[in-house]
Amino acid sequence: MLEAMTDQLPQIRHQPTGSGSLCRTILRALPTWFGIEQDRPEQDRPEQDRLEQDRPEQDRPAAQSAPLQSVRRRPGRLDMYKSLLVATDGSETAAEAVRVATELAVVLGARLHIANVYSSSNPAPVYAGEMTMAYLESLERGKFATAETEALAERARAMGLSAQPHVVAGNVAERIVEIAEEQHVELIVVGNKGMRGLKRVLGSVPNAVAHSAKCAVLIVNTT
Amino acid sequence: MYKSVLVATDGSETAGQAVRVAIELAKLCGAKLHVANVYRTGEGAIMRAPGLTMGLPEGIDAGSVAATRAESVVAHARTLGVKAKAHVAGGDPVEQIVAIAAEQKADLIIVGNKGMRGLKRVLGSVPNGVAHKAPCAVLIVNTT
């Protein structure tokens, strides 16, 4: 009897934990276990099929390449962003972006990556023995950034989030986009630092990130 | 979190993705959703937004088409339990979107990233313009 039941166990895909999702999964599986055939309601049809039907011919894209496609979808629902990345340079305005990102991650039930990219224009010493002041300085900056970012990650974890700090040196916008791709991030959060005078101007980092990111970008009003 | 979300759409399929994200996010935040369907006016307007009046009699008023689209999105949002309101505006999309956002005191504007050319991703002029001029946060959804 037990074997018969387990044979008929449907492929239960991993659902993100949320109130009732486990119960709902079991409830949905029960009819199959007991051999009762049921018409799956509208919303249980895989979203892909439903979208294809509803879209008029000419609007269907030639290739499914949007990153959202790679996210495991709950049938009938658009899975919101499950992996966020917030970029910080340790400044006050960046702290606001981190605060927003943390709150958003809580609302979305998403994993949070915190990236601190410090620009180190000083190359590493050529010889092991050659420790220039500039190199030592950049090491210090790195250590400081690491400590700071870890603290931010801790604060996020205290709110129940799964948080991962990243500290790298290099071109800020490039590194941010790189880390986002590596970690399969679906939403990058940046501040809008770079405001000059009365007219708001996007600082070069958020602007560059917005243009080169392969995923969604949220530009937070931090200034 | 956000209490007043504005999503801008031109009625295209890619904008539809941004709308889906907007409805979901508004639902999660318990925010009111403003749907703005902005249509270009003036010379060559139809050329730049061919989808708007597709299949409709020639000379039909772009404004009423846009209004109908916005209303249908709002109706859809309401069935999902999201408080929504439709806005229609003709003119320069960026300016209209920013104006509506200011009027409605939106704290988040959601746009698609349409304007992708070739291998390098380039932000279409509308999301780029909105990102630079918005009085509030801007979410650029990866729709292309």
Domain boundaries, chain B: 4-141
In this prediction, residue B51 carries a pLDDT of 56
Contact A216 B131 (CB under 8 A): no
**Res. A91 pLDDT band, cuts 50 70 90:** confident
* Higher-scoring residue by pLDDT: A213, A76: A213
Give B121's contacts in chain A (Cβ within 8 Å). Answer: 211-214
Residue among A78, A207, A212 minimizing CB distance to B20: A78
Contact A218 B140 (CB under 8 A): yes
Give A78's contacts in chain B (Cβ within 8 Å). Answer: 20-21, 24
In this prediction, residue A64 carries a pLDDT of 42
> Domain containing A173: what range?
83-220
Q: Does the global pTM surpass 0.80?
A: no
In this prediction, residue A201 carries a pLDDT of 58
Topology of domain B4-141, CATH: Rossmann fold (3.40.50)
Query: Which amino acid is residue A90, in one-letter code?
Result: G
What are A33-63's pLDDT values in tens digits? 555 544 444 444 444 444 444 444 444 444 4
In this prediction, residue A72 carries a pLDDT of 44
Tell me if A192 is assigned to some domain. Answer: yes
* B116 contact A CB<8A: no
In this prediction, residue A208 carries a pLDDT of 84
| Spatial separation of the C-alpha atoms in residues A219 and A221, rounded to whole Å | 7
Contact A68 B121 (CB under 8 A): no
Per cent of chain A over pLDDT 70 is: 54
* Higher-scoring residue by pLDDT: A145, B45: A145
What are A169-208's pLDDT values in tens digits? 888 888 999 999 999 999 999 988 753 333 455 667 888 8
Buried b (16+ CB within 10 A) or exposed e, A92-106: ebbbbbbebbbebbe
Buried b (16+ CB within 10 A) or exposed e, B124-140: bebbbbbbbbbebbbbb
Question: Which two tokens mark A148?
Answer: 């700071």
Total tally of structural domains belonging to chain A: 1
Give B28's contacts in chain A (Cβ within 8 Å). Answer: 80, 107-108
**Res. A32 pLDDT band, cuts 50 70 90:** low
**Residue in A199, A198, A179, A65 with CA at minimum distance from that of residue A190:** A179
Tell me if A2 is assigned to some domain. Answer: no
Contact B29 A107 (CB under 8 A): yes
Low-confidence ranges of chain B (pLDDT < 70): 42-59, 115-124, 144
In this prediction, residue A217 carries a pLDDT of 94
